[in-house]
Amino acid sequence: MTYTPYFVHGEDRPGRWLVTCDHASNLVPPFVNCGDLGLPREDMERHIAYDVGAYGLAQHLGQLLDSPVVASNFSRLVIDPNRGEDDPTLLMKLYDGTLIPANRNADAEETERRLTLCYRPYHEQLARFAALPHAVILSVHSFTRQLRGRDSMQASEFEINSIEDYVCFSYVRHMASLGKKGRKTAGRYEVRFNEDYVQVADVVECRDFVIQRTQ
C-alpha cells in the first residue's frame, strides 16, 4: 500500500473553513528506520508522539462546518510539521525527557529526506487549500494534562526550545491571574513559589516554584 504523508477529507465541501491537524498521527513511515523510532509502544501513545484526540475532533469539525480537513500522517517525532524548516526543534532527538533512538544520529541529510517525503507534501496540501477564496484556517491541537507523566514538576525541570514552550511556561506561572479560563485551569493545580531564583533552560530567570496537579 502506497504511503501518503497527509489525509484530506471533504475536498469538495463548500464551507469557508479549512480545518487542519498538524499532529494527527503517531505513525512512523516505513522509510524511517523501518517504521520504528526505537521507542516502546507506551511512549508512542503519549502526547510526545502526536496530539491525542485531535484528529477525530478535526474530522468532526469538518463535518459540522461542511469544510475540508487536512491532517498529517506522520508522528511529530519523525519531523514536526508545526515548525519552520530552520527551527532547531524540527527534528527532536530528546523530547520531554525521552531520548528518541532513531533520531539520535539524524544529520542534515536525514532531515532533508524527511522534509522531502513527509513535511513538504503535507504543507503543499495546506497551501493548496489555504489559497482557496475566503479560506479561514481552523487549526486543531490537544494538550497533555500531565507533566512528563508525573503529578508535579519544578521550575528548573521545564524545557524551553521554542516560543510556544516559553508561552506555556509563562502561562503555568501566571495562570491564576489570566481571567476566568485561567482560574478554571488553575483550580486543577497548585503552584507553590519560594524565595529562591532559578535559571530555566538558559532562557529565563524566575522565582523557583513547584506545580502540583490536585485533580
Q: What is the pLDDT of residues 3-56, one digit of tens each?
A: 999 999 999 999 999 999 999 999 999 999 999 999 999 999 988 899 988 999
Residue-wise burial string across 56-84, b where 16 or more C-beta atoms lie within 10 A, e elsewhere: ebbbebbeebebbbbbbbbbbbbbbbbbe
Q: Which residue has the higher pLDDT, 169 or 113?
A: 113
Residue-wise pLDDT tens digits, 167-210: 566 666 665 555 555 555 555 666 767 777 777 766 667 667 67
Q: Percent of the chain having pLDDT more than 70?
A: 70
Handedness of CA 123, 129, 132, 137 (dihedral sign): negative
Q: Where are the alpha helices (DSSP H) in the chain?
A: 41-44, 54-65, 108-114, 120-130, 163-174, 179-186
pLDDT above 80 (res 213): no
Closest of 64, 78, 99 to residue 6, by C-alpha:
78
pLDDT score at 179:
57
**Domain ranges (residues) in the chain:** 6-139, 152-213
In the predicted model, is pLDDT for residue 98 greater than 90?
no
Give pLDDT, residue 136. Answer: 93
Compute the Cα dihedral for 143, 74, 41, 108 and give only its sign.
negative
In CATH, the architecture of 6-139 is: 3-Layer(aba) Sandwich (3.40)
pLDDT at residue 95 in the model: 81
pLDDT at 107: 94
The Cα angle at residue 91 between residues 51 and 68, in degrees rounded to 5? 45
Does residue 60 contact residue 69 with C-beta atoms inside 8 Å?
no
Residue 156 has what pLDDT? Answer: 62
**Higher pLDDT residue, 119 or 197?**
119
Per-residue pLDDT of 41-96, as tens digits, reads 999 998 889 998 899 999 999 999 999 999 999 999 999 999 999 988 899 988 87
Assigned C-alpha cell, 45 = 501513545
Q: Sorting pLDDT into bands at 50, 70 and 90, what band is 165?
A: low
